[in-house]
Amino acid sequence: MGDAHIAHRTVYCNDPEQNAPFKFKGNVISTTKYNLVTFLPKGLFEQFRRVANLYFLMIAILSATPVSPVQPITNIVPLSLVLAVSLIKEAFEDQRRYQSDKIVNASPVEVCRGNEWRNVAWKDLNVGDVIRVNQDQYFPADLLFLASTNADGICYIETSNLDGETNLKIRKALEKTWDYMYPDKAPDFRGVIECEQPNNSLYTFTGNLVMGKQTLPLSPNQILLRGCSLRNTEWVVGVVLFTGHETKVMMNAMAVPSKRSTLERRLDKLILLLFCILFVLCVIGAIGSAAFIDRKYWYLNLSNDVEQQYNPSNKFVVAILNLFTFVTLYSPIIPISLYVSIEMIKFIQSTQFINNDRNMYHAPSKTYAMARTSNLNEELGQIEYIFSDKTGTLTRNLMEFFKCSIAGVMYGTGITEIQRAAARRTGTTIEEVKPSEYAIREKGFNFDDRRLMKGAWKNETQPEMCMEFFRCLAICHTVLPEGDETPDKIVYQAASPDEAALVQAAKNFGFFFYRRSPTTIKVRESYLEKAGRVQDAEYEILNVLEFNSTRKRQSVICRYPNGRLVLYCKGADNVIYERLSDKNTEIKEVTREHLEKFGADGLRTLCLAYRDLDPQLYDAWNEKFVQAKSALRDREKKLDEVAEHIEKELMLIGATAIEDKLQEGVPTCIETLARAGIKIWVLTGDKMETAINIAYACNLVNNEMKQFVIGSETKAIREVEERGDPAATARTIESWVRDQLFSSLTEAEDNERARTGLDMALVIDGKCLMFALDSPLRATLLKLGIKCKAVVCCRVSPLQKAQVTKLVKDGAKKITLSIGDGANDVSMIQAAHIGVGISGQEGMQAVMASDFAIAQFRFLTDLLLVHGRWSYIRITKVVSYFFYKNLTFTLTQFWFNCYTGFSGQRFYDDWFQSLYNVLFTALPVIVVGIFDQDVSATKSKLNPQLYMAGIRNAYFRWRVLAVWFISGIYQSIILFAFPVHAGRIGQNSSGMLLGLWDLGTMAFTCIVITVNLRLLMASTYLTIWHHISVGCSILAWFVFVFIYSALRTNWTSQLNIRFVIFVLMGTFYFWFTLVLVPVVALLGDFLYSGLRRWFAPYDYEIIEEDEKYHLRSSPTFSSEDAYEMHLLDGEQSLTEEERRTLAMAQLPRERSRHTGFSFDSPGFDSFFALQEGVSTPHRSWDVARRASMHPRRRLGDGSSSSRYNDT
């Protein structure tokens, strides 16, 4: 029955009988997909959801009917093998899940039974049980926290299994339940919990605890979630609220939204095309058989009682029955091993190459790249748009308190990286300030200004405001102190690096926060009094109005030791300014200027404000706050509404400015990706000035670009906002955004028409973006955005990040990638075609929601330009080859049936046809899919323009497939015609003409050799594995046919080819055909490849030739070789000798044009040199001339071509 239909859940504590009617779920968990009963039916159902498997099942059924020309076992066995492999894999994975579940369910926990704690298994827990969890143990269910061994009923938990964050969180039990800690008191605990129904929201909880006549509101601070562990606390006591699959962690244990690659969707179209070809061939065969069948062919013995399939009197029935005959005969046109091969290739690419790439290894965090799915490897090679978060993605998320503004006075003398970059950009000089003796540089704090350090702030004009500033930093936060209570040894556990940096700053300014309880904060203050005098102040924390992405602010209401009531608030400048009083106008204007200056310097800003509260006003407000906290419905909304009533009439104290430096290699990475044709959009919550300057520092935006800036911080909009009319403000902003979008789009289109070559960039803030994303303006925003090389969206919310991503993904139909490191990036990551998570300072939420995980933004270069591009090329080659080899094989059957009056007679033995895909041609294509590459990893990064082929989908167009299609038709004609012609004149050793099975075996041997050699021709990077796989596949055919021909069985089909191969090998025609047919069949491909390479080379072929000629002319150690060695070495430091070699190799030089032989001259071939196989180095213009024969194949823009003319 459960309680799902009830609005809320009611739990009776320590009362199993009262809970029994509700039939709550048990605490047993099962993550398995199957059990013994459901494994076979459910497993087969999952397999036959694939259209291809369903198709082969239909073919297997058809082959068991009288109309089939092949034995059913030859279709059933391959299908069974494919299904068996998949089911065994499923069973193995499910068995591992079962064993893991078994261990978890049997874990012990202490439950209150009578007057003692008894150990029971997790699976035996019930809702309402009172349990005890010891230090370092995991919570077995979602619990209501009752009591703790720590003072004031608090405990520390680690939530890394839930959100990846390793910093400790504090939980506080209700004071009413602190006494129920020991077994003599725990059995007496009685109460009724009324709470929300089970849901998957990890960070919210709504409920009340009713004890007697008292109703106590419950919040997430009293909830201990399953999967978290207890830290720094001896034990805690709690009541079980949710069990098993109703716990929040289990309700979140759902797979990341399933994504299919674009190429996989195109593959579906290709399979559909093959179905169409199959249907056409079968219809032609059916019509042909009906037209051909006639009693005039007396030798066919078509009497009146002949079976309906061959009865000339009813040609319609003949056509229909033969249609099914041809379906079974031509069924190999759809490759049964295609999906298995692709899955195997992708799996190996992910686990062996991406996950183990040393160039994507981050030594400081000891983190390799991780492919969390193998379905999207080739999608990495076709990315056109990247959507990136800023903080922690482009920057390090290692925050340092750098500057501040207090009461209209700016403090801090440091110079940021962004300032230096801006100075270089504008050609100005910055006057460096020598660090003072008071400068402090430590984690989270990099500040220097003698006016504030060492208590000097008390000599400022407004020391009271300075004190308010420092106290706000020390009190308004949720930081937990750990370790010794001394400034040197204390460690701050914070939800974000920003908070830790601000508390660290308060400590260095003489306001040392060292202890926290659920209701108090202790700060050691050293100021005003005599030097060395220290005062410990205890501030009572009355309310905490927590930060969230909607509020964008955090407030704390505290009571001073002298009884003063103060609200301290910190948050985004636009949010704080909306809530300021009309007083101190001068400070507001000056601070706004300081904020703009901080933003221009690339600093993250927060505004600080306070409000003195009247006790009566506070008491009245607190009643509303308690009511909102007790609400079972819309609690968060009601709390936000109540907070609005007190977070107003604030007095501005000042602003903080925190530096977050760029990650190593970000500018180079962005510049490289831009050269690869990838457009980057930065989506950040920072101020517009900060975002623009970060974009400059990243090489995303430069002075040569035309910039369209659409922001809401205009004088007109500000005047309307000050009137306090939201509707008028909205109309004004909407009108402004519409005008700006249309004028910017018009200018962008004019630039395009004028072909000025001017790059464009768009900068837009969150308020304007909100209106731009509405239906009337979406299309205009999209048109403008895709015309720009870079887009920066600032002050955006997590929802807006996802909306912008979907706008380009769905509106422009472009392949997108989103990259971020925090929980606020999850929706954006899941909205894109590919999501990349950065394992950084903000937990692992982004990584857990991503498809690929890397440690640094710069690793995108290797992930996309190397692994992505290689995967795209490999998979397209594999799919195209499968299409070709199966078409070639099937068409030989078709030509034979045309030759034999559309009789439905098979050309090959049944087992030849069945094993063609799974044995004789399977291994080489997998090797190509794993190892093939056009150019090396280093060349891929040195020539990012190569990546554009993936964006254009150059290797999987219908034009490319048409070439393979024509090749298959041509080769099938050769492979059929030559052996059949040999059968007309050829004789075996007994003087007899070669028969049907002789010709079929000869043709099949030629097919196996031809298609395997064709794969070698298509490979651009031959390894020993290529040769081994091709050789073994051809050898496997001969071994099989020797054994199969030598067997003596009762199978009719097997008797047809008994000793056939031995008879064939005794004839001249077999050996002559075996050499001639592959040569003639592959001659067309050879000529086409040569002509295409000469007149219309691909980009990588130009690189290959350049490299080839370069190596011939310069066998010595080159600068590119040195660079490759340096890249392969990753982040390891070079020795002095290596550094010297690298520097020498990179020096410009003039290469000798002499070959070393006598009588030669620079620029002319030497006769003697040519006799020894040594040619004159090719001139650069030879390569340039051939590259320019097909302008559409040029590498990127003209700026990159100089690299190829410098050979």
Q: pLDDT tens, 242-290?
A: 998 898 888 876 445 567 788 888 888 888 888 899 999 999 999 998 8
**Are 711 and 844 part of one and the same domain?**
yes
Q: Is 119 a domain residue?
A: no
Q: Which residues of the chain have pLDDT under 70?
A: 1-7, 151, 160-161, 163-167, 253-258, 298-299, 303-305, 309, 425, 495, 527-533, 549, 632, 840-844, 986-993, 1048-1056, 1107-1207
Name the strand (E) or helix (H) holding 793.
Answer: strand 790-794
3-class secondary-structure state, position 482: strand
Residue 133, C-beta contacts closer than 8 angstroms, at least 6 positions apart? 109, 110, 139, 140, 143, 224, 230, 235, 236, 238
Question: pTM for the complete prediction?
Answer: 0.75
Give the Cα separation of 32 and 402 in Å (integer).
52
Give the Cα separation of 51 and 32 in Å (integer).
25
Block residue for tokens 């630039």: 751
Q: Quote the number of domains for the chain.
A: 7
**Are 171 and 307 part of one and the same domain?**
no
Q: Is 115 a domain residue?
A: no
**Are 966 and 1017 part of one and the same domain?**
yes
The CB density around residue 824, as the number of other CB atoms within 10 Å, is 21
Residue 604 is labelled as binding a ligand? yes
**Are 1190 and 1080 part of one and the same domain?**
no
Give the Cα separation of 5 and 872 in Å (integer).
50
Q: Residue 674 corresponds to which amino acid? A: A
Give the Cα separation of 690 and 190 in Å (integer).
56
| Sign of the torsion formed by the C-alpha atoms of 639, 644, 649 and 652 | positive
Residue 795 is labelled as binding a ligand? yes
Q: Residue 20 corresponds to which amino acid? A: A
pLDDT at 1141: 53
**Are 528 and 605 part of one and the same domain?**
yes
**Are 933 and 1079 part of one and the same domain?**
yes
DSSP string across 1020-1031: SS--HHHHHHHH
Q: What is the CATH number of the domain that holds 677?
A: 3.40.50.1000
**Are 438 and 536 part of one and the same domain?**
yes
> pLDDT, tens digit, for every residue of 315-331?
888 888 888 888 888 98
Residue 685 is labelled as binding a ligand? yes
Identify the domain containing residue 1065 by its residue range. 338-352+866-1095
Q: Is 359 a domain residue?
A: no
Give the Cα separation of 945 and 673 in Å (integer).
9
Q: Is 261 a domain residue?
A: no
Residue numbers annotated as active site: 389
pLDDT at 1155: 37
Residue 939 is labelled as binding a ligand? no
Give the Cα separation of 820 and 808 in Å (integer).
17
pLDDT at 165: 60
Give the Cα separation of 747 and 549 in Å (integer).
35
Q: What is the CATH number of the domain that holds 133?
A: 2.70.150.10
**Are 440 and 428 part of one and the same domain?**
yes
Q: Is 1127 a domain residue?
A: no
DSSP letter, residue 947: G
Residue 861 is labelled as binding a ligand? no
pLDDT at 1132: 41
3-class secondary-structure state, position 426: helix
**Are 1040 and 1167 part of one and the same domain?**
no
Q: Is 112 a domain residue?
A: no
pLDDT at 139: 93
Phi then psi dihedrals of residue 515, to 5 deg: -150, 140
**Are 796 and 882 part of one and the same domain?**
no
Q: Is 2 a domain residue?
A: no
**Are 175 and 95 part of one and the same domain?**
no
pLDDT at 1207: 31
Residue 686 is labelled as binding a ligand? yes
Domain boundary among 42, 72, 107: 107
Q: Is 1138 a domain residue?
A: no
Residue 366 is labelled as binding a ligand? no
Bridge-partner residues for 491, per DSSP?
Answer: 482
Give the C-alpha distances (Å, rounded to integers) separating 594 from 85, 411, 658: 67, 10, 13
DSSP string across 820-855: E-SGGGHHHHHHSSEEEEE--SS-SHHHHT-SEEES
Block residue for tokens 């099949």: 1004
Q: Do the beta carbons of residue 711 and residue 765 sit within 8 Å?
A: yes
3-class secondary-structure state, position 451: coil
Residue 570 is labelled as binding a ligand? yes
Domain boundary among 617, 635, 659: 659
**Are 173 and 136 part of one and the same domain?**
yes
Domain boundary among 55, 76, 107: 107
Give the Cα separation of 94 and 89 in Å (integer).
9
pLDDT at 271: 85
Block residue for tokens 């020598």: 434
